[in-house]
Each structure stands twice: as structure tokens, then as C-alpha cells.
DNA sequence: TGTACATCAGTGAACGCGCGTTCACTGATGTAC
DNA sequence: TGTACATCAGTGAACGCGCGTTCACTGATGTAC
């Protein structure tokens, strides 16, 4: 319990009329709302309440509720890529190790942010036709495809080359399937392992997707 | 346009006071509602309207809205298994061909019923602790695990044997990832192929999950 | 440095709506005798 | 075969609620001169 007896998310000092960075605060509050209520129970008023702001305030930054969800998904894809990069930075430079690190990061992100992952991959509410979200999602795909190509040595675009398509589809599907099942709590015998053992298992499984040339 | 000028889902003859099989009608209407509105826009009143029945009627059969969603997911898992069996029946008896057919059926079901698939695998609203749904979901997993074991020749339970766990996790994740991505319209270069070519590609990809002994 | 003014960001009341659920009811069906 | 009665299945009105959005407003900030 907070010793002042105040709820921890209420500012002690009188908050200035202007917030400073309400957009970011609202995105953080939106993520918390997603975690708590799921996409199905997500509401603009709930987000505003979490942010400690009147329920009409978000409109100034995101337009309507779908605008906020689109922004949340966009930031989600950016973090998704960043998480994969983090794992790659700690891995050997060799293409295979880099691809494995990407896959582990893919799955780790989903397990760390299951509600956000669902918004990004399992909801129709964000506007994927909006340029920001469209580009962020495409960037994640392109990044994975590039790392697959580095391993196979096949630089042809998947849309033109059947082998390239199969390689990238297999890798993506394997990572995505593990991510989705583990985020949902399916596969408990894998998800319940301690993190290091789990990541080792994931690397072993992901290795089946593509073979080096 | 219907030549009688009547909406096709309105009965011509006065409907008797008792419906006969309202439970099934409501499940069908629920699936249509899912397809149209998604899980996020799903409402009991919408389902009742589709079924041509007062909005209080569903309570007699399913209790509340979550009861209906749980029943929908349960029937979904039963159909999911049945669809895989259909593909297996048309395949060679050899274990590898049977497993491939299961995977193709897994993906086909998801592409044919994307909204239902999402309810089954991507929503927290159905009550997975209810015996009916719990058993139906477990049966689907057990079925897949059995076919994986038939291919690998490893009969140890995945919870005890690491190799068995990796094999079943890899197969499930690969099928599930393809299903989820294709159902969502991601992977258009694969999803856009004509059905026969698509299934051939899926078989090729699924084959990477496990190796025969 | 001061002042007028435009713009921006957040407020709080109000709106209309669709929702899930409850409730007393009524029509239909099944069963006991 | 008839009748009384219990049970079942569906109705329609009513409830209270939380929602997204609109709106006139006000406090704060930035800028031109």
C-alpha cells in the first residue's frame, strides 16, 4: 500500500492544465487497458480514466477509438521489431544465429505482450490501410524475409520464387504459431519451462523451418 | 434479389410458437454474427435478431452471452476435428500422408472459418474451463499429437520426453501459424494460390516439422 | 518589455444508442390418471 | 378418450449501464508587432 494513502497513479501535485505528453500517456494507458480488458472490453473512456484525464481528451490526439487502436498497433509493431533486434544484438553474427535470434524475439514479444500481440495479429479493428500501421507491419515482414534469405542464400523475392516463398512462409509460420500458442497459454509443457530452457527449445524447433544451402 | 421480395431469412408461413430446434438455429446465427461483426461486435441481441426470435429467447438455451460463445467454440472444435478427418480419409494410410492431411485440414478449416477460428484460439470470452469446451479442445490436441507420434515412432508423452515435445510443438506451431496467418489474410502470396497449388505448398512446408525415424 | 490575439489542449455536461439481463406473461407440449 | 396440471419455450416491456461522440467552454501557450 502506498504510504500516502493515495492511489499510485494519481499525481500528488495539482496537475497543470496542459499535460505535456498526453499522447504517449494515452498509449501506455491503452496498453494497460488491453491487458486488463482484452480487445473485446477495450473502451476509450476506460483509457482516459487510466490516464487521469477527461474522456473527451483522447479525441484531440487520436480522433476516435479506432484511431487509438491503430496507433497502439503501430507502436506494437515497432516494439516487436525492436525486441527482435535486441535478441540479434546478443547473438553471433552468423546468418543462422541471427535468424534464430529473430525467432526467439518474435516469440518473446508475444509472451511478454499477449494482448498487444492479439491486437496486431488477431483483430480487425486497427486500420491496416493507414500508412503508419501498414508500413510498420510490412517492415516486420520484410525484416524476417531478409534474415531468411541470408540463411538460404536465395535472394529472389518470395512472390516470384517458389522456394523462397516456402522458406519464408515456413519460418514465419513456425515463429508465429509458437508465439500465438504460447501467448494464449496453449503448449504449457513448452511455455512452462524456465526461460533459458524454453529459448533453447524454441531455437531447436525454429531450426526445422529452413536449411542452410 | 429474392423474387418474392421478402428477406430470405424471414419465414413465409407464420412460425409456430415453439421453434423446434432453436439451439441449433442460434448457433448458426451466432456463427453468422461472428463472420459479420467479429468477436468484438458480437451481441446476443444481434444473434436473436438473425434467428428471428425475441432477444430473451437465447437465455433459455445458453444462459448468457458467454454461454453461447462457449457453445460456439465447442462446436467449432468438433468441426475442426471433423474437417481434418475428412482430409485424412482422402489420403493414403501411411502415417506421413495422414499427418500431412491433418495439417492441410487444420489450415483449411481456419481459412474457411476465420472468425470462428479466432474465437477458438484468440479470445478469452469462451469458458475454456467448462467441461464441454475443455474436452473438445483437448481432443483436437491429442489427435494431432497421436498422428505426430505415428510418424516419428516415438510413443512417449510430450510432457515427459523432450524430443516428443519438440516434434509435436513444431508440427502444431507450423500448422497453427500457417492457419492463423492465412486466415488473417497475411501471406497473400501463399493464400492467393489456387486451392490445389496452395495445398501442395502447405504439405511441402508442413513436412519440415518432423522427420520420419 | 508589453500587449493583443490566435491556437492549442483539456473539461464536463449532454445526447442518443445498443447492450445484457430480469420479469411477469402466455402459448404449446407432455404426462398422470 | 378426456381432463387437469406441470413444465417448457418464447414474448415483449422495462431496467440500468457504459459506451462513443458532440459541444460550448476555459485555461494555457505561442506569436506578431
Domain ranges of chain A: 22-206
Q: Any CB–CB contact under 8 A between B37 and chain A?
A: no
In a mutagenesis test of the A interface, which of B125, B177, B190 is the best target, namely the one with the most A β-carbons within 10 Å? B177
**Mean pLDDT value of segment A32-56:** 96
Q: Is the pLDDT of residue A9 over 60?
A: no
Q: Any CB–CB contact under 8 A between B147 and chain A?
A: no
Residue B17's pLDDT is 58
Cα–Cα distance, B80 to B116 (Å, whole number): 10
Cα of B14 vs its chain's centroid, Å? 35
**Greater confidence, A201 or B3?**
A201
Residue B186's pLDDT is 95
**Mean pLDDT value of segment A182-205:** 96
Q: How far is B15 from chain A (nearest CA, A)?
A: 35
Q: Any CB–CB contact under 8 A between B178 and chain A?
A: yes
A75 Cβ contact list (under 8 Å, min separation 6):
A27
Segments in chain B below pLDDT 70? 1-19
Cα dihedral B114/B116/B122/B127 (nearest 10): 180
Gap from A13 CA to C27 C1', Å: 65
Residue A71's pLDDT is 97
Residue A57's pLDDT is 95
Specify the residue for cell string 494482448: A115
Contact B176, A181 (CB under 8 A): yes
Q: Is the pLDDT of residue A120 over 80?
A: yes
Closest residue by C-alpha to C1' distance, nucleotide D11: B54
Q: How far is B9 from chain A (nearest CA, A)?
A: 27
Chain A environment of B175 (Cβ under 8 Å)? 177
Other C-beta atoms within 10 Å of A154: how many? 17
- Regarding the domain with residue range A22-206, which homologous superfamily does it belong to in the CATH classification? Tetracycline Repressor, domain 2 (1.10.357.10)
Gap from A74 CA to D24 C1', Å: 34
Residue B18's pLDDT is 67
Q: Which residue of B has its CA nearest to A134?
A: B186
Contact B151, B212 (CB under 8 A): yes
Chain A environment of B209 (Cβ under 8 Å)? 174, 208
Closest residue by Cα to residue B190 from B104, B119, B120, B121: B104
Q: Any CB–CB contact under 8 A between A118 and chain B?
A: yes
Specify the residue for cell string 524454453: A198
Cα of A147 vs its chain's centroid, Å? 18
Picking from A1-15, A83-97, A98-112, B125-139, which range would have the lowest pLDDT averaged per residue? A1-15
Give the burial string for A37-53 (b: 16+ CB within 10 Å, else e): ebbeebebebbbebbbb
Q: How far is B159 from chain A (nearest CA, A)?
A: 6
Nearest to A159 among B186, B189, B201 (CB): B189
Helices A22-37 and A65-89 pack at an angle, to 10 degrees, of: 90
Q: Any CB–CB contact under 8 A between B165 and chain A?
A: yes
Q: How far is A121 from chain B (nearest CA, A)?
A: 8
Query: Could you give the 3-state DSSP secondary structure of residue A113?
Result: coil
A161 Cβ contact list (under 8 Å, min separation 6):
A154
Q: Backbone phi, then psi, for A205, in 5-degree steps?
A: -70, -45
Exposed, middle or buried by CB within 10 Å (0-12, 13-18, 19+), for A127?
Answer: middle
In a mutagenesis test of the A interface, which of B174, B178, B190, B194 is the best target, namely the one with the most A β-carbons within 10 Å? B174
B170-188 pLDDT, tens per residue?
A: 999 999 999 999 999 999 9
Q: How far is B11 from chain A (nearest CA, A)?
A: 33
Closest nucleotide to residue A43 (Cα to C1')?
D19
**Mean pLDDT value of segment A52-74:** 95
Cα–Cα distance, B49 to B46 (Å, whole number): 5
Do the Cβ atoms of B40 and A125 come within 8 Å? yes
Give, as ranges, the nucleotides of chain C with any atom within 7 Å of a protein CB.
9-14, 18-24, 27-29
Other C-beta atoms within 10 Å of B193: how many? 16
Q: Is the pLDDT of residue A22 over 80?
A: yes
- pLDDT, chain A, mean: 91
Residue A16's pLDDT is 64
Chain B environment of A152 (Cβ under 8 Å)? none
Q: Any CB–CB contact under 8 A between A96 and chain B?
A: no
User: Which stretches of A11-130 are DSSP H helices?
Assistant: 22-37, 44-51, 59-62, 65-89, 95-112, 114-122
Residue A184's pLDDT is 96
Q: How confident is the model at residue A21 (pLDDT cuts 50, 70, 90)?
A: confident
Q: Any CB–CB contact under 8 A between A40 and chain B?
A: yes
Amino acid at each position: 500500500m502506498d504510504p500516502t494513502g493515495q492511489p499510485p497513479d494519481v499525481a500528488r501535485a495539482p496537475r497543470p492544465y496542459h499535460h505535456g505528453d498526453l499522447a504517449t500517456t494515452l498509449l501506455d494507458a491503452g496498453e494497460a487497458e488491453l491487458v486488463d480488458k482484452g480487445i473485446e472490453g477495450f473502451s476509450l473512456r476506460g483509457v482516459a480514466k487510466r490516464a487521469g484525464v477527461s474522456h473527451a481528451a483522447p479525441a484531440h490526439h487520436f480522433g476516435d477509438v479506432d484511431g487509438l487502436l491503430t496507433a497502439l498497433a503501430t507502436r506494437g509493431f515497432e516494439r516487436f521489431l525492436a525486441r527482435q533486434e535486441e535478441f540479434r544484438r546478443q547473438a553471433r553474427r552468423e546468418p543462422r544465429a541471427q535468424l534464430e535470434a529473430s525467432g526467439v524475439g518474435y516469440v518473446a514479444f508475444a509472451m511478454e505482450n499477449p494482448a498487444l500481440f492479439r491486437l496486431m495479429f488477431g483483430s480487425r479493428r486497427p486500420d491496416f490501410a493507414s500508412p503508419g500501421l501498414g508500413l510498420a507491419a510490412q517492415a516486420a515482414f520484410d525484416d524476417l524475409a531478409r534474415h531468411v534469405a541470408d540463411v538460404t542464400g536465395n535472394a529472389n523475392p518470395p512472390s516470384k520464387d517458389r522456394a523462397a516463398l516456402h522458406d519464408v512462409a515456413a519460418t514465419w509460420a513456425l515463429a508465429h504459431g509458437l508465439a500465438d500458442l504460447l501467448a494464449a497459454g496453449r503448449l504449457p509443457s513448452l511455455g512452462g519451462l524456465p526461460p533459458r530452457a524454453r529459448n533453447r527449445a524454441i531455437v531447436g524447433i525454429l531450426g526445422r523451418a529452413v536449411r542452410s544451402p
